[in-house]
Every structure is written in structure tokens, then in C-alpha cells.
Amino acid sequence: MFKTRQESSHIVLAKSLAEKVRKFVDELIIPNEPQLNNDRSSTFHIHSELISQARSAGLWGLFYPLSYGGKIASLEDYLLIAEQEGRTEFSAAIFGSDTVVDAHMLAKFGSKAILKNFLEPMISGQAIPSYGMTEPERSGSIPALITTSASLANGSWLINGRKWFVSNIDRATFTTVLARTAGENAALDNSLSMIIVPADTPGFRIERKISIMGSNLSQGEISFSNVTVPEQNLLGTCGSGTYLMSQRLGMGRLLRSMNWLGLAQRCMDLMGARIHSDRAKTALLADKQLVRQHFVNVYEAIASARELIRVAARHIDAQCASDIEINVAKLAASRALCIASDSAIQLYGAEGISDLTPLASISRIARASRILDGTAEALISSTGRRLIHFYKENDGYQFI
């Protein structure tokens, strides 16, 4: 990382924090990966100690709202840090970056009661959020199919329904639930709302944990049986759920994409280490053209995704982002991680598909990246439709 005269203070700060995060990840988190790969309940003390160290180092919640302790103001600047956090799958919980979207959503759309009861405890580490959107037996990408219901009576919301693939299932203290608050015949834009439900509310039940390709990624299924919460737990306004969902997805997709970019970069670093190992020198791997092609493919994929993410982040910062920039950035980041993990595994051979390296675990995340936060097919279809529609009224597309 280089500093130039033209760099503004916020870029200098972002680069400095990125260097500290990378050092923390490489020296403290990555060496503990074999232990952290175990069930969270058996490694709670390691997680807690690393979180405490991250807080002491001033590296916790770096992209929280500035008024709540965050140090980075723009999503574009945070890219430098997020990709360093993303070098290991365990950083999100340790640096608090897995709660960034919730922090921004609560700060922007929460009432005074929500700020006091949920956001402030979350910032201090006393509360952990989760998000319930998709439902069993229904497509997660179609909000119109949401059946979880919430009705308002006597100052309270009565909630019934089920959600699955809910994040932080094993440690969340509250869940932001997307529920139907209007009849089925109401316009979709006004029929859904987001309501915050504490995990200890009567009627709230964890039905099961759901492993992802054999790994525990803290996903699960929950149910609501006549769950009652105060009216003040409504996030935003009644009927604004579709808009809030789009706001959450936009930032969430980019933040996750930034982390995937970090994992892709780590795969490339592992490829470099493999090439210069004694075993690889004996096999003359550096002289083989297909090996060189692997490196070029990985570099090209990472560099392309990085710039697409930067453009999308810049648009979100300017509050003029469209789904086109965000979706294409997510697709590119997923593709970069898939290419990088697959190429690294090829160079490592049998070790790459074993637990002797982190590559097998990374490859599971790479495969899941084509589904998480919107399947690749759905995003391609949606983005293609928007681009085609654009040419219905315009002669040429202006890249900014």
C-alpha cells in the first residue's frame, strides 16, 4: 500500500486501518482457523478473546455509523478494509462487520426506542442481530410470496409464521423480521413491513440449525407462534418493507462481495506460496504455461471485480446506485472467488481438497456465493431485463 501526495486524509486513514486489519488477521485469526472451524460452542473462549483483542486494537465496527463509533464514512473507502477482513471467513464476527448492515439500517430507519433497545446494545457488544426474510417452501427472491403475518392491535404486533436461512441463529438476541402487514390484494410496495423481535419473546422458537455444504455457518430456521412485540418495534414505517429490503440487500451484497474478494486474494497468495515452495520448484510449476494461465485468470478476475465493487460502492455513497452496478459487482466477486479457489486447489492437488489447507472450506463458500444474497441466475435475469429496457428509451449506455 502506497501513500501519494494526492491522497486525502480519509484514504490515508482507510489504508492505515487496512494494514492493521491484515496484520491482525494474519497473526491472530488465521493461526486459529483449525480451532475456529469447530462448533462455535466449543470455541467460544477463542472467539471472545479475539473479539476483545479487536476492540482493544480499535478495529471493531470500523464501518458502523460514525455517530456510533465507526471510523470510515464511505463504502468505497471501506473496500480497502473489508477485503482484508475477508481474508478469513471468521473475521466477520471478530471485527463486528457481520452486524454492519443492521447497524446502518437501525440507525437510519429506527425509532428512538429501537436505537435505545437494540442498536446501542448491539454497538456495545451486548446484543447480536439476525435477519429473517426467506421462508420454507418459497422462493427467497420473490417478496410477494411472503406469508409470515403481523397484525397490529392495542399497541402490539401479533406475528405468526416461519423463516429459514436466518443468520446468527446460534447467538442472535433479536431478529428483524419481514412480515406481511396488509392483505394479499394490497400492492406489494405497501404490504410488507420489518419488525424487530427479541429472541426471548414467548412464541419465538429456533426450529433447527441448517448446515451449509457440511459447515456450520450459523444459519437456521425459526418460527413465530402468536409472538407479541410492542408497536414501537416497527422499523421504518408500516408498509415500507419492500423498500427497506432493497436498501438492505444493496449494502449487504456489496459488503459480502468485498469479503469474497479478500478470500480470493488469499487464494492467490496461497498459489504464490505454493509455486515457490520446495516441492513446486522440484516439479518446475513456475515454468508450466497452464500454471501461469491460472495466475493470470485469478488476477484478472480479482482486479475486474474490485473495480466493479468500487464503482457500485461509490454510487451507494452518492445515493444514486442502481441494481445494475450492485448486481454485476456481486456476480463478478462471486466469479472471482470461484476462479481463485478452484485454481488454488488445482495447484495444491490432493492437499487442496483436504483439511490440510483452508482451500476446501473456502471452496464451499465460493460455491455458496452463487446463491447467497440472490442466485446468479436471478441477478443475471434481472440485470439483463433492466439493460434491455434501458435501450427502449435510449440510444447508448453511458458508463460513469
pLDDT tens-digit series, residues 189-212: 889 999 999 999 999 999 999 988
Question: How far are the Cα atoms of 173, 176, 244, 298 from residue 197, in angstroms, in the given order?
Answer: 9, 6, 16, 43
pLDDT in tens, 321-351: 789 999 999 999 999 999 999 999 999 999 9
Contact 139, 145 (CB under 8 A): yes
- Residue 384's pLDDT is 95
pLDDT of 86 > 90? The answer is yes
Helix (H, G, I), strand (E, B) or coil at 295: helix
Residues 6 or more apart whose CB falls under 8 angstroms from that of 22 comprise 84, 87
Domain locations in the chain as residue ranges:
9-110, 129-235, 243-393
Q: Which whole number is the average pLDDT over 355-369?
A: 93
Contact 179, 223 (CB under 8 A): no
- Residue 166's pLDDT is 94
Which of the listed CATH numbers 1.20.140.10, 3.30.1490.20, 3.90.1720.10, 1.10.3720.10 matches domain 243-393?
Answer: 1.20.140.10
Contact 321, 251 (CB under 8 A): no
Contact 174, 198 (CB under 8 A): yes
Q: Which one has a higher pLDDT value, 48 or 225?
A: 225
Residues 6 or more apart whose CB falls under 8 angstroms from that of 41 comprise 170
Confidence tier at 5 by pLDDT (50, 70, 90) = very low
- DSSP readout, 379-393? HHHHHHHHHHHHHHH
- Nearest Cα residue to 173 out of 126, 228, 108, 226: 126
Q: What is the mean pLDDT of the chain?
A: 92
Q: Which whole number is the average pLDDT over 50-67?
A: 96
Contact 151, 194 (CB under 8 A): no
- Residue 137's pLDDT is 81
Instruction: Report residue 187 as a C-alpha cell.
Output: 400492492
- Residue 188's pLDDT is 80
Q: Which whole number is the average pLDDT over 126-155?
A: 89
The count of other CB atoms within 10 Å of the CB of residue 7 is 13
Confidence tier at 274 by pLDDT (50, 70, 90) = very high
Confidence tier at 218 by pLDDT (50, 70, 90) = confident
- Residue 141's pLDDT is 63
DSSP structure class, residue 321: -
- Residue 1's pLDDT is 46
Confidence tier at 2 by pLDDT (50, 70, 90) = very low
Residues 6 or more apart whose CB falls under 8 angstroms from that of 210 comprise 164, 165, 169, 219, 220, 221
Residue 167 and residue 210: Cα distance in Å, rounded? 10
The CATH-assigned architecture of domain 129-235 is Beta Barrel (2.40)
> First CA to last CA across the chain, in angstroms?
26
Beta bridge partners, 175, equal 130, 197
Q: Which residue has the cell 434491455?
A: 388
Helix axes 75-85 and 241-275, enclosed angle (nearest 10): 50
pLDDT of 306 > 50? The answer is yes
Share of the chain above pLDDT 90, in %: 78
Residues 6 or more apart whose CB falls under 8 angstroms from that of 121 comprise 127, 173
- Residue 42's pLDDT is 58
Beta strands 174-180 and 129-132: pairing type? parallel
Contact 267, 305 (CB under 8 A): no
- Nearest Cα residue to 305 out of 344, 331, 339, 338: 331
Helix (H, G, I), strand (E, B) or coil at 129: strand
Contact 319, 78 (CB under 8 A): no
**Does the domain made of 9-110 have the CATH classification 1.10.540.10?**
yes
DSSP structure class, residue 297: H
Amino acid identity, position 286: A
